[in-house]
C-alpha cells in the first residue's frame, strides 16, 4: 500500500487545494488576503496550483498599513506583475493623512486603525463574502482553536464560543448577506512545513527573511530597522549595523529583527530547529494586552 501513501507535505498541499477550490465553487465573491509574508507566498502558490492550467479566479488584496518595509512593497509589485495577479491594495488613507503611526500613537492604536480598520473597510468596500488568510494554528494559542472556515458576523466579529462544527472535509459555506467566512487553508501547516515547502517549490520570498548586514536600533528589547525617514530623530544615534534577518514581516517599527547568519533556507531551518524563541516573540502586537491576539481576532483582525 505504500505506493499509495502521500508524505505529510503532499497531504497538506492536497488539503489546502481542496479548501481553496471549495471556496471558489461556493462563494460569489472571494478574495485572498496577501500580506507579502512567507505564508502568504505559499498560499498564493497553492491557489495557482488549485486552478492550473487556468488562472486564479479571485483577486488578491493587500492591506497596506503604510508602514511596511520598502522591500516588501517592491517585492509585492514585482510578484503581482510577473504572475499576472489581480491585486487590490487598500489603506486607511484618512488615518494615514492625520499622521497615525506606531511611534506617535503606540502599537495598539496603529494596529486598530491601519490594519484592522483598513481590512474591514476593504472587505466592506468590495463586499467580499469570503477572505482567505494565511494564518496557521501552530502560531498562537487562540488560532489553535479556530475553524478552517471561520464564520464572521456582519460586524466581522469572531465568536470563539459559538463556532460552527466542522467535520471531515465538508465545509459549511452558507452565509447571509453581509456576513462572511474567513478561510485558512494553511491551518494545519507548521512553520517548518512552510519553510520546507518554500525550499522544495522554490517559492520566491522577500529578501528580508535572509540574514544580511542591516542598520538596527534596540528599542524596548526589540531590534528595529529604520526603514524610512519617519524613524524618530532622537533614536538615530542608537542605530548600528548588525547581521540580522526577520522571522516575520509586518510594519517595520513593530517587527523585531533577530541577529542571524542564516542567509539560505537551509540555514534558516537549522537556526529555527536550534532556536529558543518561537516566531511570534518578535511581534510587538501580541504582547500589548493580556490574551491580546484573541481580543484582536474577536474584533476582526486576522
- Report, in angstroms and rounded to the nearest whole number, the Rg of the chain calculated over CA atoms: 19
Of 67 and 301, the one with the shorter C-beta distance to another protein is 301
Stretch that binds another protein, among 97-105, 107-115, 214-222, 259-267 (CB under 8 A): 259-267
Locate cell 488560532: which residue?
Answer: 143
Query: Nearer to another protein by C-beta: 22 or 112?
Result: 22
Q: Binding of another protein at residue 291 (CB under 8 A)?
A: yes
Contacts of 252 (CB under 8 A, 6+ apart): 67, 68, 69, 224, 225, 226, 227, 228
Residue 183's Cβ-count burial label (10 Å; 0-12, 13-18, 19+) is: buried
Pick from 125, 157, 160, 240: which binds another protein (CB under 8 A)? 160
Task: Report the residue number, 48 or 90, with the smaller CB distance to another protein.
Answer: 48
Sole binder of another protein in the list 168, 213, 228, 233 (CB under 8 A): 168
Pick the piece of the chain touching another protein (CB under 8 A) from 32-40, 92-100, 195-203, 242-250.
195-203
Applying CB under 8 A, among 39, 64, 129, 138 the residue interacting with another protein is 138
What is residue 124's three-state secondary structure?
Answer: helix
Of the two residues 243 and 281, which places its CB atom closer to another protein in the complex?
Answer: 281
CB of 25 to another protein, least distance (A): 5
* Cis amide bond preceding 53, omega within 30: yes
Q: Which of 86, 91, 188, 243 binds another protein (CB under 8 A)?
A: 188
Query: Shortest approach of another protein to residue 202 CB, angstroms?
Result: 12
3-state secondary structure of 56: coil
Question: Under a CB-based contact definition with an 8 Å cutoff, are residues 200 and 64 in contact?
Answer: no
> Is position 172 an interface residue for another protein (rule: CB under 8 A)?
yes
Does 144 participate in binding another protein (rule CB under 8 A)?
A: yes
Q: Which three cell numbers stand for residue 255?
A: 517587527
Q: Is 218 left (phi over 0), alpha (psi -120 to 50) or beta?
A: beta
Residue matched to cell numbers 488576503: 33
Burial of residue 269, with CB atoms counted within 10 A of its CB: 0-12 exposed, 13-18 middle, 19 or more buried: middle
Select the span of 28-36, 87-95, 215-223, 273-281 touching another protein (CB under 8 A): 273-281
Segment interacting with another protein, rule: CB under 8 A, options 1-9, 61-69, 108-116, 236-244: 1-9
Query: Pick from 78, 125, 174, 236: which binds another protein (CB under 8 A)?
Result: 174
Which contiguous run of DSSP H or E holds residue 12? helix 8-26
Q: Which is nearer to another protein, 230 or 280 (CB)?
A: 280
Does position 29 bind another protein by CB under 8 A? no
Amino acid at each position: 500500500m505504500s505506493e499509495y501513501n502521500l508524505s505529510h507535505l503532499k497531504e497538506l498541499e492536497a488539503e489546502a487545494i481542496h479548501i481553496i477550490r471549495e471556496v471558489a465553487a461556493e462563494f460569489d465573491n472571494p478574495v485572498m488576503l496577501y500580506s507579502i509574508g512567507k505564508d502568504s507566498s505559499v498560499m498564493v502558490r497553492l491557489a495557482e496550483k488549485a486552478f492550473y492550467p487556468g488562472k486564479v479566479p479571485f483577486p488578491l488584496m493587500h492591506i497596506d498599513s503604510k508602514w511596511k518595509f520598502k522591500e516588501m512593497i517592491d517585492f509585492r509589485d514585482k510578484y503581482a506583475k510577473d504572475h499576472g495577479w489581480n491585486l487590490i491594495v487598500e489603506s486607511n488613507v484618512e488615518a494615514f493623512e492625520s499622521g497615525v503611526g506606531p511611534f506617535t500613537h503606540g502599537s495598539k492604536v496603529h494596529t486598530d486603525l491601519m490594519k484592522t480598520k483598513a481590512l474591514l473597510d476593504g472587505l466592506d468596500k468590495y463586499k467580499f463574502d469570503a477572505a482567505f488568510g494565511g494564518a496557521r494554528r501552530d502560531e498562537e494559542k487562540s488560532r489553535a482553536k479556530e475553524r478552517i472556515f471561520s464564520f464572521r458576523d456582519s460586524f466581522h466579529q469572531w465568536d470563539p464560543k459559538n463556532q460552527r462544527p466542522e467535520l471531515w472535509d465538508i465545509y459549511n459555506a452558507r452565509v447571509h448577506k453581509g456576513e462572511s467566512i474567513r478561510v485558512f487553508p494553511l491551518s494545519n501547516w507548521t512553520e517548518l512545513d512552510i519553510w520546507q515547502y518554500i525550499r522544495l517549490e522554490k517559492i520566491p520570498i522577500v529578501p528580508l527573511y535572509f540574514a544580511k548586514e542591516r542598520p538596527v536600533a534596540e528599542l524596548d528589547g526589540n531590534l528595529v530597522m529604520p526603514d524610512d525617514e519617519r524613524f524618530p530623530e532622537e533614536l538615530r544615534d542608537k542605530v548600528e549595523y548588525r547581521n540580522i534577518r526577520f522571522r516575520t514581516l509586518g510594519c517595520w517599527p513593530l517587527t523585531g529583527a533577530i541577529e542571524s547568519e542564516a542567509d539560505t533556507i537551509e540555514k534558516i531551518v537549522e537556526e529555527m530547529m536550534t532556536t529558543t524563541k518561537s516566531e511570534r516573540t518578535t511581534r510587538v502586537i501580541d504582547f500589548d494586552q493580556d490574551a491580546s491576539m484573541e481580543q484582536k481576532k474577536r474584533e476582526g483582525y486576522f
